[in-house]
Amino acid sequence: MSEAEIATIDAARDILRRHARATAALQSWTMLTDYLALNAVRERVEVFRVLLLDRKNKLIRDKIMSRGSIDHVPVYVSEVMRSALVLDASALILCHNHPSGDPQPSQADIDMTRKIVDACRVMSITVHDHLIVGFGREQAVFSMRAAGMLDD
């Protein structure tokens, strides 16, 4: 990418982050996926992030929990829970990218998500979704909620 393209992406990401903090993060699927895609577009390795939300689904913090390799990112349930509790989050949106471009979840992705959902349930924290951002010819986002992989 050119310097100008990088600067444009960075500016767009900052605008979306400010807007997400001022409004409900779940107000628009397009806003959410655009924000996550802009954050993932320059990543060459998997990055696991958590959007920590207040009771009105406003963004408290977008926190990068871990950086991994081209096909794996270590995720620690205790670190996710610690962040949620320290920031008094009522809800989470989990997200990571697949640099390969294929947003389909691996079995490890599914297992890790279940562990986080189970831990959050004990603490009365809602997990709205786990989104996997991939890139190919077009940006693609896989929603575990939409695929029926998150049970309430």
Domain boundaries, the chain: 3-147
Query: Is the pLDDT score of 24 beyond 60?
Result: no
pLDDT reported for residue 10: 72
Nearest to 24 by CA among 65, 64, 60: 60
What would the pLDDT profile of 117-151 be if each residue is shown by its tens digit?
A: 999 999 999 999 999 999 765 568 999 999 999 97
23 Cβ contact partners less than 8 Å away, ≥ 6 residues apart:
58
3-147: CATH class? alpha beta
Alpha carbons 70 and 45: distance in angstroms, whole number: 4
Per-residue pLDDT band for 22 (boundaries 50, 70, 90) equals: low
Q: What are the E-state strand segments in 13-125? A: 47-53, 59-67, 91-98
What's the mean per-residue pLDDT of the chain? 87
Q: What angle do CA 150, 57, 133 make, to 5 degrees?
A: 50
